Amino acid sequence: MKKVILTGDRPTGRLHLGHYVGSLRQRIELQNSGEYDEIYIMIADAQALTDNMENPEKVRQNIVEVALDYLSCGLDPEKSTIHIQSQIPELFELTAYYMNLVTVSRLQRNPTVKAEIQLRNFEASIPVGFLAYPISQAADITAFKATTVPVGEDQQPMLEQTREIVRKFNSIYGETLIEPETLLPDNKACLRLPGIDGKAKMSKSLGNCIYLSDSEEEVRKKVMSMFTDPNHLRVSDPGQVEGNPVFIYLDAFCRDEQFERYLPEYKNLDEMKAHYRRGGLGDVKVKKFLNAVLQEELEPIRKKRREFEKDIPYVYEILRKGTEKAREVAASTLADVKRAMKINYFEDAELINEHIRKFSK
Ligand code: ATP
Ligand code: MG
């Protein structure tokens, strides 16, 4: 069986460190590993509209921002097909058929949807499209016959829903769709990176992000303002490492050799954490180290972004070509689905002949 990746992001803002560690960094490793036959990267603008219907301009402006973030992180259009969801109508046709396989109460039980409904104050009136977006996500994944979906932890319930739809479809209409697997980052700190405010998730909607395209100065300011252990008041106080975002970011980003260069008094992060726990290590010193670590990771990305920003027509050309290619694949899956459901009337000579016989009697 072919190994196929599908994943993507909502163009609701520029991409941030959460996207990077939760999905983007791994995507690039997978792309460069050469182990996958096909890689599809979706800019999910139609999904973004399900909770931004009144603000299409936001979505419209951020498509190119997300594309620039992709390219500057190393997604290579020769190896990964970057495409725009709304330009592939076949995805919406698939969604319509899958809708009949899912109940409203099942959607309402989806824990990610539940949390997002609360966050957006949709409790009293949920847009139908928003409640149903896990179904459209199942269409996105199955349209490309994806076997692997590299995402952050918050997407697990979506993948479960997709697998249910696949099983149900195949059991009714015969083996047609592929059941995908989630690929989570193996570093625990990357599953759900907290915000700089200490909130559980760095998220565009919460305004607690360090963006991949933030300037050196913006990153430095954000790091120095980060929430840490509120009980660690004096340098001599013992501090808590668990749940402390500064240390979670270090878990996600720093490498042992960086201690040699920036803080030779520690061999590795464990030694630094031990010092923080016993007291005597100030937040400012930890934050300065984190800043150095992050700048090292982000500087090459910023540099590449500036290059791509000089050639926006090229970026749009990548999107156009990627979308064309993706559309062909989605159309072929849709044809399989319609054949399986036997709603491909004009291709169905058997049906037509049967009716000829029936009505000629
Ligand atoms: P929005 O607030 O508009 O939903 P978002 O910041 O949650 O935006 P998405 O586009 O919904 O971003 O998510 C894209 C991908 O990034 C998903 O795979 C998701 O799991 C991952 N991701 C997003 N935020 C984080 C995070 N803080 N930690 C780890 N992974 C994340
Ligand atoms: Mg999200």
The mean per-residue pLDDT over the stretch 105-111 comes to 94
CB of 204 within 6 A of ligand 1: the answer is yes
What is the chain's mean pLDDT, rounded? 96
CB of 116 within 6 A of ligand 1: the answer is no
pLDDT at 132 over 90: yes
pLDDT at 40 over 80: yes
Sign of the torsion angle spanned by Cα atoms 171, 175, 176, 180: positive
pLDDT at 25 over 80: yes
CB of 205 within 6 A of ligand 1: the answer is yes
Closest ligand by atom to 207 CA: 1
What is the 154 CA–ligand 1 centroid distance (Å)?
8
Give the pLDDT band of residue 294 (cuts 50, 70, 90): very high
Q: Where in the sequence of the chain do the CATH 1.10.240.10 domains occur? A: 216-308
CA–CA distance, 120 with 103 (Å, rounded to integer) = 22
Closest ligand by atom to 249 CA: 1
Crossing angle of helices 312-341 and 133-143, in 10° steps, is 90
Q: Which of 182, 73, 143 is nearest to 325 (CA)?
A: 143
Give the pLDDT band of residue 207 (cuts 50, 70, 90): confident
List pLDDT tens digits, range 315-337: 999 999 999 999 999 999 999 99
CB of 45 within 6 A of ligand 1: the answer is no
- What radius of gyration do the chain's Cα atoms show? 23
Placement of tokens 């959460």 in the chain: 18
CB of 327 within 6 A of ligand 1: the answer is no
Cβ partners under 8 Å of residue 269, min gap 6: 247, 250, 251, 254, 256, 259
pLDDT at 205 over 80: no
The mean per-residue pLDDT over the stretch 68-95 comes to 98
CB of 47 within 6 A of ligand 1: the answer is no
Nearest ligand 1 atom, CA 150 = 18
Nearest ligand 1 atom, CA 7 = 18
Residue of the CA atom closest to atom 19 of ligand 1 = 152
CATH code of the region 216-308: 1.10.240.10
Q: Where in the sequence of the chain do the CATH 3.40.50.620 domains occur? A: 4-192+312-353
The mean per-residue pLDDT over the stretch 297-326 comes to 98
Give the pLDDT band of residue 130 (cuts 50, 70, 90): very high
What is the 114 CA–ligand 2 centroid distance (Å)?
12
pLDDT at 143 over 90: yes
Return the best residue to mutate from 5, 15, 23, 209 for the ligand 1 pocket (most ligand atoms within 8 A of CB): 23
Residue of the CA atom closest to atom 25 of ligand 1 = 18
pLDDT at 79 over 90: yes
Placement of tokens 């565009």 in the chain: 204
CB of 214 within 6 A of ligand 1: the answer is no
CB of 12 within 6 A of ligand 1: the answer is yes
Cβ pair 28, 79 in contact under 8 A: no
What is the 311 CA–ligand 2 centroid distance (Å)?
29
Nearest ligand 1 atom, CA 194 = 27
CATH architecture of 4-192+312-353: 3-Layer(aba) Sandwich (3.40)
List pLDDT tens digits, range 189-199: 888 999 999 98
pLDDT value of residue 152: 84
Give the pLDDT band of residue 200 (cuts 50, 70, 90): confident
pLDDT value of residue 299: 98
Cβ pair 14, 62 in contact under 8 A: yes
Give the pLDDT band of residue 348 (cuts 50, 70, 90): very high
